[in-house]
Amino acid sequence: MDPLLEALRLITSGDLYVRDVILRSLQISGSALLLAMVIGLPIGIAVGLTRFRLRLPLVAVINAGLAFPPVVVGLGVFLVLSRAGPLGDLQLLYTPAAMIGAQAILAGPYIAAVSLAAVENIPPDIALQARALGASRRQAIVLQLREVRTSLVAAVAAGFGAIISEVGAVMMVGGNILGETRVMTTAIVLETRRGNFDVAIAMGIVLMLIALGVNAVLLLLGRRTIRRGQVA
């Protein structure tokens, strides 16, 4: 049977293995994203809105995070979580937690760097005007963030797109264990290796759809921003 047709059948019939792997991918990358947001957004916003000594080196470090090669992050997390490593006693290697950690390390600096850039570009007179009109410091910050909320969402969406399609780091720290740490990308590698092209294609199609979905969200947000810009 044609592998492509068989792949479509696997998706539409809700094949248990394919569905399980897809759900696990969304769970793991979803929680990694949550973690990365909780850490990345406040750091990006705080550094973007404030001015202090040694700020420039900090910005450089955050921006360097944009260029973390995933396999190197995977190797680092592997060595730290391995029994021989400093956190070996936690027994986290080959668990979803290890994958979530690695993906958060990849997405965190990404979200921080993009949100930092967005916040930095807010015209300073917005805050000044707000304060002049009697807004509290907190209200002024909220107002500034409202200005860039589309960019913040775009940062998060792009972070999600990057980690759900990543394979090197999750393979190393997750181990591709069936029913636990096997996600779409590692399953595609395995099933291609095994010659099960139908299963690999099915997961590939779903992964593509997710990537396209993320891109569509980004595109929609971009259009909104342009429209708002014209009105202002």
Partner 1 sequence: MDTPRLTFALIFALGGGVCAGACGTDQDTFVLGATTSTYDSGLLEHLIARFNEDQPGLRVRTVIAGSGEALELGRTGDVDLLLVHAPDAEARFVEAGHAPRRSPVLANGYVIAGPPSDPARIRGSASPSEAFATIARGEHGFVSRGDSSGTHAREILLWREAGAAAAGAWYVESGQGQATTLHVASERGAYVLTDDATFAMLSETLDLEALVEGHPSLRNVYSLLTPRAALQPERAAVFADWLRSANGRRAIGGFRVRDGPEALFAPWPRDDPAN
Which residue in the set 6, 165, 175, 211 belongs to the binding site for partner 1 (CB under 8 A)? 175
Kindly report the CA angle at 12 between 177 and 194, in degrees rounded to 5? 40
Q: Locate 93 and state its tokens.
A: 């290697």
* In the complex, minimum distance from the CB of residue 41 to partner 1, in angstroms, rounded to a whole number: 11
CA nearest 189: which of 161, 169, 211, 209?
Answer: 169
- Does 227 help bind partner 1 (rule: CB under 8 A)? no
Which residue in the set 97, 111, 119, 199 belongs to the binding site for partner 1 (CB under 8 A)? 97
Q: Locate 137 and state its tokens.
A: 């410091």
Interaction mask 101-140, partner 1, x per CB under 8 A = ----------------------------------------
Q: Locate 81 and state its tokens.
A: 């979580």
d(CA 134, CA 26): 44
- Does 193 help bind partner 1 (rule: CB under 8 A)? yes
CB nearer to partner 1: pick between 64 and 219 = 219
CB nearer to partner 1: pick between 62 and 78 = 78
Residue type, 150: T
Which residue in the set 153, 158, 205, 211 belongs to the binding site for partner 1 (CB under 8 A)? 153
Long-range residue pairs from 138-146, CB within 8 A, at least 24 positions apart, any chain: 141/49, 144/49, 144/119, 145/45, 145/119
CA nearest 170: which of 21, 66, 39, 37?
Answer: 21
Q: Which stretches of the chain bind partner 1, using CB under 8 A? A: 23-24, 26-31, 33-34, 37, 82-84, 88, 91, 93-97, 100, 149-150, 152-153, 156-157, 160, 175-178, 180, 190, 193-195, 197, 217, 220-221, 224
